[in-house]
Structure 1
Amino acid sequence: MAQNANTHLIVVALEASIVPVPPLDLPAPYTYELREYGRTRPEEVAERIKDADVVIVTIVQLRADVLRPERTPRLKMVAVVASGTDCVDLEACRARGIAVGNTPHCNTVSVAEHVVALYFAARRSVALLHTMVQAGEWRKGMLHNTLNGPDGRAPRTCREETLGIVGYGAVGKVLESTAKGLGMKVLISGRKGASTVPEGRTAFDALIRESSVIALCLPRLPDTRNLISDAELDAMKPYAVIVNVSRGGIVDEKALVAALKARKIAGYGTDVYEQEPANPDNSILVRPDVAGLNIVATPHVAWCASDTIANYNRALKENIAGWLTTGQPKYPVV
């Protein structure tokens, strides 16, 4: 059984507006009170979780200072409704014996499909053309040349593309089969800087040079920060398109914008940013001076789909029930 003397649990959901909390099926003799907040600002976290036995979180930060025993004396479990757990100080949880569970593979299909959506939007300059049409530019003449890449050629079709997948987890595998169904050639990247490459993989540097589309589907770790920066952008084909559905910070955003302005690559589609929520005050990718660049920006919604929410709800319930019956979430992180 979970190391918890309380059978009536206080469950605090800090971001219920992202994924609503389903009714929890707790094993006997446990009951619970749900304190549900639509969104939580950083300065509100400590007050809202001070009595919690279980905290449900998606992206709001749970840092070491709010996880100290004197601030959260009852806390025994953190349930992350997401695959990534970089919002939680895992070392602080490990030191206190706080269980942490996540919800892996729940959004796999949705995220893979979002990569394809961003690819088409960037390859065919959809956002840029939309802005130009709304601004009345079409009356001045045909706009088809806007679709041309820096190499001066019209956009390629899928059968002419080579997709390089960086990050071959669940999303990468679904993306691979989807891309092959569209007629793309697919390369799977080895680790950057690795001296050897597993069979079936392509060396990172070679993939960067050979791919016309590069999809980033990997976690943000110390060795993946600025994975794509000046050297990689300089090595890409002039008609390359990058799609990022991983995490902000994996692409050097300043280098990326400079490459687009210099016409070194053709476009960038992203769902993630170094700082979120992205706005003109904190992100170079959405400032007015990049309006003429082929950037397609979505607000960290690649996960959003009806089956994703159903999967999140199932995994959340399984994690909490598993922790109460065995002392460990079904999908343990700590």
Structure 2
Amino acid sequence: MPLASAEHLHIVFLQGDVLEIPKFNLPKPFTYSQTVYGWTTAAQVPERIHDASIIALSAARIDAHALSPEVSPHLKLIVMIATGYDCVDLEACRKRGIMVCNCPGSNIEAVSEHAIGLYFTARRKLLDMHMATRAGKWKEKGILMLDYVDKDGTPPLTCQEEVAGIIGNGGVGKRIAMLANSLGMKVIVSDRKSPTTADPSRVPFATVIKQSTVLFVAVPLLDSTRNFISTPEFDSMSPHAVLVNVSRGGTVDEEALVKALRERRISGAATDVFKEEPAGPENSPLVAEDAKDLNIIATPHLAWLSQKTAINYATKLKSAVEGWSKGQAVNVVS
């Protein structure tokens, strides 16, 4: 492998298993080589990026240490194979002049459809029904209806009875709203929790929290959205409410969510994202042993997974790398 230089770029893929890696057409005098790792943990990052001019990743913390000249002396460009980029220390990148790009809009269809699937699974307790049927409980008891009514004894709501609150009005939020509306739900789109200006097209955050029977969360992880749904919000929700989170782990207070479900303040929850990932019983209260009897549906941050997403990721990765080599900014976040 030739050493990285001003003209020779070495591209390192830290999570190569998540995408089809394109061929790059770089202008002269650039040449390139590449190293592909199927998956990379945070602990493996420093060693693997030492010779990189460009790194491409979907996950793994790229912190100030990894971005120091001693650890990554040749690094010029980071491409996030994702919409979110909160795992990269942007300030450290700015100090060194390292460009950071992402792949916005690549997974809108997959994530929004996954969100609707999570809603149905939690609202109608489909996984519990499946497991009970496979375990022979229907045959044993004759009828299982009473096992799947709400806490007040009423059957689950239909879509025509749902009020779908959308928190986050980006591409995913907009498409969830469209799908929810087409299913017959009343859709209300939340304003920011602390709005700076009034937006007549939005509903106040507190009102959405109070009125929604299904709440879809699709926001980036920022200082303003970290744990922004917590005990006060759960206390004001409808007892029939189902929370669906397809945004970023850390936006919803996991301990407060478990407490709200355990105290039967809301009906259910479904999430594709966790504060700590990969998540397991040891590091997330949502999948801990003492939460297994709660109506929580958990998927392993794979809402994005689809053929279309993979094509979009490869296309936007190619555009970002080739654009940078030509002095063009493509989907730059820092």
User: TM-score w.r.t. structure 1 length?
Assistant: 0.95
Who is 1:282 aligned against?
283
Who is 1:269 aligned against?
270
CA contact (8 A) 2:14 2:55 kept: yes
What is the distance in 2 between the residues matched to 1:30 and 1:15? 24
The aligned runs of 1:151-166 (5 Å cut-off) are: 151-166=152-167
What is the distance in 2 between the residues matched to 1:167 and 1:85? 17
Q: What residue identity is the alignment partner of 2:332?
A: P
What is the distance in 2 between the residues matched to 1:105 and 1:301? 16
Who is 2:22 aligned against?
22
Aligned residues with identical type, % of pairs: 45
Q: Deviation at 1:130?
A: 2.5
Mapped pair 1:73 → 2:73: yes
Q: Deviation at 1:222?
A: 1.1
Task: Render the CA deviation track for 1:294-315: whole Å, top value 9, x for unaligned.
Answer: 1111000011110000000000
4+ runs deviating over 6 angstroms? none
The aligned runs of 1:205-220 (5 Å cut-off) are: 205-220=206-221
CA contact (8 A) 1:118 1:270 kept: yes
Q: Deviation at 1:44?
A: 1.4
Q: CA 1:249/1:209 → structure 2, altered by over 3 Å: closer, same or farther? A: same
Q: What residue identity is the alignment partner of 1:54?
A: I
Task: Render the CA deviation track for 1:61-103: whole Å, top value 9, x for unaligned.
Answer: 1111111112211111111111111111111110000111100
Task: Render the CA deviation track for 1:252-288: whole Å, top value 9, x for unaligned.
Answer: 1111111111111111010001111111111111122
User: Structure 1: where are the runs of 5+ without partners?
Assistant: none
Q: What residue identity is the alignment partner of 1:140?
A: K
Q: What residue identity is the alignment partner of 2:333?
A: V
The aligned runs of 1:173-184 (5 Å cut-off) are: 173-184=174-185
Q: What residue identity is the alignment partner of 2:60?
A: V
Q: CA RMSD in A?
A: 1.5
Task: Render the CA deviation track for 1:215-271: whole Å, top value 9, x for unaligned.
Answer: 000011111111111111111111110000001111111111111111111110100
User: Structure 2: where are the runs of 5+ without partners?
Assistant: none
Who is 2:249 aligned against?
248
User: TM-score w.r.t. structure 2 length?
Assistant: 0.95
What is the distance in 1 between the residues matched to 2:216 and 2:227? 15
Q: Deviation at 1:140?
A: 2.7
CA contact (8 A) 1:211 1:236 kept: yes
Mapped pair 1:44 → 2:41: no
Mapped pair 1:8 → 2:8: yes
Task: Render the CA deviation track for 1:158-202: whole Å, top value 9, x for unaligned.
Answer: 111110000000111111111111111100001113375311110
Q: Deviation at 1:148?
A: 1.6
SS in structure 2 of the partner of residue 128 of structure 1: helix
SS in structure 1 of the partner of residue 79 of structure 2: strand
The aligned runs of 1:65-214 (5 Å cut-off) are: 65-138=65-138, 139-194=140-195, 197-214=198-215
SS in structure 1 of the partner of residue 229 of structure 2: coil
What is the distance in 2 between the residues matched to 1:184 and 1:289? 33
Q: Deviation at 1:24?
A: 2.0
CA contact (8 A) 1:268 1:295 kept: yes
CA contact (8 A) 1:321 1:329 kept: no
CA contact (8 A) 1:150 1:265 kept: no
SS in structure 2 of the partner of residue 247 of structure 1: coil
Who is 2:292 aligned against?
291
CA contact (8 A) 1:163 1:184 kept: yes
The alignment covers a number of residue pairs equal to: 330
What is the distance in 2 between the residues matched to 1:175 and 1:305? 17
What is the distance in 1 between the residues matched to 2:76 and 2:247? 29
Who is 1:257 aligned against?
258
Q: What residue identity is the alignment partner of 1:292?
A: D
Q: Deviation at 1:152?
A: 2.2
CA contact (8 A) 2:215 2:241 kept: yes
CA contact (8 A) 1:128 1:292 kept: no
